Chains A and B, each alone.
Chain A
Amino acid sequence: MRQTSLFISNFKHMQNFLSDIIKYGIKLLGIFAVLSILIYSTNKDFYFSYEDDLLVEKYDAFLLDQKNINNVFIGSSKIYRQIDPVQFDSLNVGATHSYNLAASNLFPPRSYDFIKQAILGTDYINSVFIELSPIANISVNYNADPNIYSINFKKYLDIINFCYSTNYPTLTRINYFAGYSVLFAYKYLGFGIKKYITLSLNLEKTEIKKTNRDNIPNRGFYSLDDQLNFSQKKDLIARRNEFLKNHKKFLNKSVAENTHRTNFYQEKTDKITSDLIKLADKLKSEGKQVIFIIPPKQSTEHLNFLLYQKSQLKEYLVMDFSDPEVYPEFYNLQNSFDRGHLNKNGARTLTKKIADQFLMHQTHPHHQSNQQP
Chain B
Amino acid sequence: MLFNSIEFALFLPLVFFVYWFIFNKKLNHQNLFILIASYAFYGWWDYRFLALIFLSSIIDYSIGLFIFKTSCSKKRKMLLGISLLANLGMLGFFKYFNFFIENFIDAFSLMGINLQANTLKIILPVGISFYTFQTLSYTIDIYRNRLKPTNNIISFFAFVSFFPQLVAGPIERASNLLPQFNTARIFNIAQAKDGLKQISWGLFKKIVIADTCAHFVDHIFQNYGSLSSGVLILGAVFFAFQIYGDFSGYSDIAIGTAKLFGFKLMINFKYPYFSRDIAEFWRRWHISLSTWFRDYVYIPLGGSFGSNLNKIRNVLIIFIVSGFWHGANWTFIAWGLLNAIYFLPLILTGKHKTHIAYQNTEKRLLANFSLLFKILFTFSLTSFAWIFFRSENIIDAFNYIGRIGSFDSFNIPAAYTEGIFLILVLLAFEWPKKNKEHPLQFDKSGKVVRFITNTFIIYMIIAYVSNEANEFIYFQF
Contact = CB atoms under 8 A, between A and B. Distances in A.
A27 to B, nearest CB: 8
Given A14-B20, A190-B462, A204-B415, A6 B184 contact: yes
B462 A17 contact: no
A324 B168 CA distance: 56
Interface stretch (A28-36, A100-108, A230-238, A311-319): A28-36
Interface in B158-192: 184, 186-189, 192
A20 B193 contact: yes
Interface in A3-18: 3-4, 6-7, 9-11, 13-14, 16-17
Nearest to A39: B463
Given A144-B467, A145-B467, A205-B215, A17 B192 contact: yes
Nearest to B460: A194
B467 A10 contact: no
B459 A32 contact: yes
B301 interface: no
Contacts of B219: 205-206, 208
Nearest to A141: B467
Contacts of A14: 20-21, 187
A189 interface: yes
A13 B188 contact: yes
A206 B413 contact: yes
A141 B213 CA distance: 25
A190 B459 contact: yes
A192 B184 contact: no
A7 B25 contact: yes
Nearest to A198: B418
B309 interface: no
10 contacts: A3-B26, A7-B24, A10-B187, A13-B189, A17-B187, A17-B192, A20-B193, A192-B465, A193-B463, A204-B415
B414 interface: yes
Given A3-B26, A203-B418, A192 B192 contact: no
A6 B27 CA distance: 11
Interface of A: 3-4, 6-7, 9-11, 13-14, 16-17, 20-21, 28, 31-32, 35, 143-145, 189-194, 197-198, 202-206, 208
Given A13-B189, A194-B463, 6 more contacts: A10-B20, A21-B196, A143-B465, A143-B467, A145-B467, A206-B216
Contacts of A144: 467
A206 B467 contact: no
Interface in B454-477: 455, 458-459, 462-467
Nearest to A10: B187
Q: Which size class do B's interface residues fall under?
A: 20 to 34
Contacts of B222: 208
B39 to A, nearest CB: 25
Contact of B186 (A9, A16, A31, A143): A9
A145 B417 CA distance: 23
Nearest to B215: A205
Contacts of A10: 20, 24, 186-187
Contacts of A206: 216, 219, 413, 415
Interface in B177-223: 184, 186-189, 192-193, 196, 215-216, 218-219, 222
A205 B419 CA distance: 10
A13 B414 contact: no
Nearest to B207: A194
Given A20-B193, A192-B465, A11 B24 contact: yes
A45 to B, nearest CB: 20
A197 B465 CA distance: 13
Contacts of B463: 190-194, 197
Contacts of B184: 3, 6
Interface string B136-159: 000000000000000000000000
A206 B459 CA distance: 24
A24 to B, nearest CB: 8
A193 B458 CA distance: 13
Contacts of B467: 143-145, 192
Contacts of A11: 21, 24
Interface centre among A17, A21, A189, A193 (most CB of B within 10 A): A17
A173 B368 CA distance: 65
Contact of A13 (B187, B216, B417): B187
A7 B29 CA distance: 13
Interface string B395-438: 00000000000000000011101100000000000000000000
A16 B413 CA distance: 51
Contacts of A28: 455, 458
Nearest to A145: B467
A194 B415 contact: no
A16 B189 contact: yes
A9 B219 CA distance: 54
A191 B24 contact: no
B102 to A, nearest CB: 26
Nearest to B222: A208
A203 B414 CA distance: 7
A165 B458 CA distance: 39
A187 B359 CA distance: 46
A244 B223 CA distance: 43
A198 B193 CA distance: 32
A198 B187 CA distance: 42
Nearest to B227: A206
Given A32-B459, A145-B467, A205-B216, A17 B189 contact: yes
Contacts of A20: 189, 193
Given A31-B455, A203-B417, A191 B189 contact: no
A139 to B, nearest CB: 13
For the complex of A and B, the 7 pairs showing the least CB-CB separation, nearest first, are A10-B187, A194-B463, A193-B463, A13-B187, A206-B415, A194-B464, A190-B462
A32 B455 CA distance: 9
Nearest to A35: B459
A208 B214 CA distance: 13
A57 to B, nearest CB: 18
Nearest to B218: A208
Nearest to B464: A194
Given A13-B187, A13-B189, A203-B414, A32 B462 contact: yes
Contacts of B20: 10, 14
Contacts of A32: 459, 462
Contacts of B459: 31-32, 35, 190
Contacts of B413: 206
Nearest to B414: A203
Contacts of B462: 32, 189-191, 193
Interface string B48-77: 000000000000000000000000000000
| Max count, chain A CB within 10 A of own CB: residue among B192, B413, B459 | B459
